């Protein structure tokens, strides 16, 4: 893919809609993760998609995804949709998936029966985010590194949020084809003495230390506790109190780091950024993603000021003899938090 000059930045090989003609159809789309579920209604026609309604729900307040879909339909008194597609956080096999960081099991056949909709699809949430690149505009992205904007080739997405999602987009010479992975669950490889100490600390808690244990929302607080309990970094009283009262301690730590309020928080996020940079470089190398790499998910836009500092790019390049390849790759942060939702649609 070359860097286009038209309004949309990327064009993908999108699946053909079932039976779509000049008449518009309604699509119920979802981006379902361990923390939240974003649900939306779209009207789709050959001229494009129009958002009709969107709502966000806390996943842990519902017993199932079907409950959320039923609530959404009831709240708007919407007609039955023509199509349903949900991007879900987990590996989809034969139309079924267990949400990785939530005790939910989804079955497309179940959804068809419960909601009375014939065409129901479940796809991985990162695959949905990859499809969502087709709907992005220039203002939806933050450029970390320009790279070679005219380069063609595969692309990759790494998305830290509640968990760590990773996906690829295969370049066939004419268009990109998204595909999901579960690369976030591959083994973390410690390199420095601090890495080794942190690895041992996390191994006692989790057994297998995957990259998700280093690069996801819960990982921020784990790194913080390692620095506090093992490395004996000082924890200010106000910070201890804020963490104790917080629903999400990791958010407290990252916010304090962004505002330079506590050294321990700054050091926590330095490690987090370093690990994110290393795994971003790993993913580019594994997929030979010369067309670009995208940082998606809930965390990167919130810590964009940290990712734009020298440390991220320096650690991204810190690989084995492939710096020339990595230097040519454009690096973006996806600001648009609805890219996965639109991709599902």
Counting the structural domains of the chain, the total is 2
Phi, psi of 102 (to 5 degrees): -155, 145
What 177-182 contacts at long range (C-beta under 8 Å, 24+ apart), as own/partner pairs, is: 177/12, 177/13, 178/12, 178/127, 178/130, 178/131, 178/343, 179/127, 179/130, 180/91, 180/92, 180/123, 180/124, 180/126, 180/127, 181/126, 182/91
Q: Say whether both 262 and 155 belong to one domain.
A: yes
Percent residues over pLDDT 70 in the chain:
94
Residue 180 within a domain = yes
Q: Identify the pLDDT of residue 81.
A: 93
Q: Please tell me the distance from the alpha carbon of residue 212 to that of residue 335, in angstroms, as a whole number.
A: 21
pLDDT of residue 4: 36
Do 111 and 170 share a structural domain? no
The alpha carbon of 79 is separated from its chain's Cα centroid by a whole number of angstroms, namely: 31
pTM of the model: 0.91
pLDDT band at 1 (very low <50, low <70, confident <90, very high): very low
Q: Which domain holds residue 238?
A: 147-329
What's 322's domain CATH number? 3.40.367.20
Residues 6+ positions from 43 with CB-CB distance below 8 Å: 24, 25, 26, 27, 49, 50, 52
Asked if 69 and 108 sit in the same domain, the reply is: yes
| Residues 157 and 277 placed together within one structural domain of the fold | yes
Whether residues 228 and 317 share a domain: the answer is yes
Better-predicted residue by pLDDT, 333 or 4: 333
The answer to the question of residue 244 being in a domain is: yes
Confidence of residue 14 (pLDDT cuts 50, 70, 90): low
Q: Are residues 160 and 268 in the same domain?
A: yes
Say yes or no: 164 and 122 in one domain.
no
pLDDT by residue (tens digit) across 38-51? 999 999 888 788 89
Does residue 15 form part of some domain? Answer: no
- pLDDT by residue (tens digit) across 318-339? 999 999 999 999 999 999 999 9
The pLDDT value given to residue 13: 64
Q: Would you say residue 44 lies in a domain?
A: yes
- Same structural domain for residues 245 and 220? yes
- Domain with residue 65: its CATH number is 3.30.420.40
Regarding whether 168 and 100 lie in a shared domain, the answer is no
Indicate whether 64 and 152 sit together in one domain. Answer: no
| Cβ contact 306:269 at 8 Å | yes
**Given this model, what pLDDT does residue 35 score?**
81
pLDDT digits (tens, 9 = 90+) for 46-85: 878 889 999 999 888 888 899 999 999 988 777 789 999 9
In-domain check, residue 184: yes
Mean predicted confidence (pLDDT) in 109-125: 93
The answer on pLDDT for 18 being more than 50 is no
On whether both 122 and 87 belong to a single domain, the answer is yes
Q: Is residue 39 part of a domain?
A: yes
Distances, alpha carbon 120 to alpha carbons 86, 111, 116, 191, in Å = 8, 7, 10, 45
In a domain, 40, yes or no: yes
Residue 4 lies in a domain: no
Work out whether the CA dihedral 268, 271, 277, 279 comes out positive or negative: negative
Q: pLDDT-derived band of residue 17, with 50, 70 and 90 as boundaries?
A: very low
The reply to whether 168 and 194 lie within a common domain is yes
Which segment of 31-35, 209-213, 228-232 scores lowest on mean pLDDT? 31-35
pLDDT at 21: 54
pLDDT of residue 9: 61
The most confident of 96-100, 161-165, 282-286, by mean pLDDT: 282-286
């Amino acid at each position: 893919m070359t860097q286009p000059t038209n309004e949309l930045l990327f064009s993908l090989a999108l699946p053909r809609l079932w039976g779509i003609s000049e008449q518009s159809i309604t699509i119920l789309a979802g981006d379902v993760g361990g923390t939240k579920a974003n649900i939306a209604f779209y009207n789709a026609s050959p001229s494009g998609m129009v958002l009709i309604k969107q709502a966000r729900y806390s996943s842990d307040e519902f017993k199932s995804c079907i409950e959320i879909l039923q609530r959404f339909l009831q709240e708007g008194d919407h007609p039955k949709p023509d199509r349903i597609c949900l991007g879900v956080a987990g590996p989809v096999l034969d139309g079924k998936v267990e949400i990785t960081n939530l005790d939910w099991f989804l079955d497309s056949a179940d959804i068809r029966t419960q909601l009375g909709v014939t065409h129901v699809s479940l796809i991985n949430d990162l695959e949905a985010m990859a499809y969502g690149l087709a709907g992005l505009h220039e203002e939806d992205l933050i450029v970390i590194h320009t790279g070679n904007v005219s380069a063609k080739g595969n692309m990759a997405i790494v998305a830290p949020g509640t968990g760590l999602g990773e996906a690829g987009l295969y370049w066939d010479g004419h268009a990109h084809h998204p595909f999901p992975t579960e690369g976030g669950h591959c083994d973390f490889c410690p390199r420095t003495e601090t890495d080794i100490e942190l690895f041992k600390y996390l191994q006692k808690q989790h057994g297998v230390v995957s990259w998700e244990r280093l690069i996801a929302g819960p990982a921020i607080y784990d790194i913080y506790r390692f620095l506090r309990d093992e490395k004996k970094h000082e924890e200010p009283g106000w910070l201890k109190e804020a963490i104790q009262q917080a629903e999400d301690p990791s958010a407290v730590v990252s916010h304090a780091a962004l505002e330079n309020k506590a050294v321990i928080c700054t050091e926590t996020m330095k490690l987090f950024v370093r690990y994110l940079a290393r795994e971003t470089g790993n993913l580019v190398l594994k997929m030979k993603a010369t067309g670009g790499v995208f940082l998606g998910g809930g965390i990167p836009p919130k810590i964009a000021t940290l990712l734009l500092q020298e440390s991220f790019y320096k650690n991204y390049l810190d690989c084995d003899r492939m710096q020339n390849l990595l230097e040519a790759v454009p690096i973006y942060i996806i600001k648009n938090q609805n890219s996965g939702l639109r991709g599902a649609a």
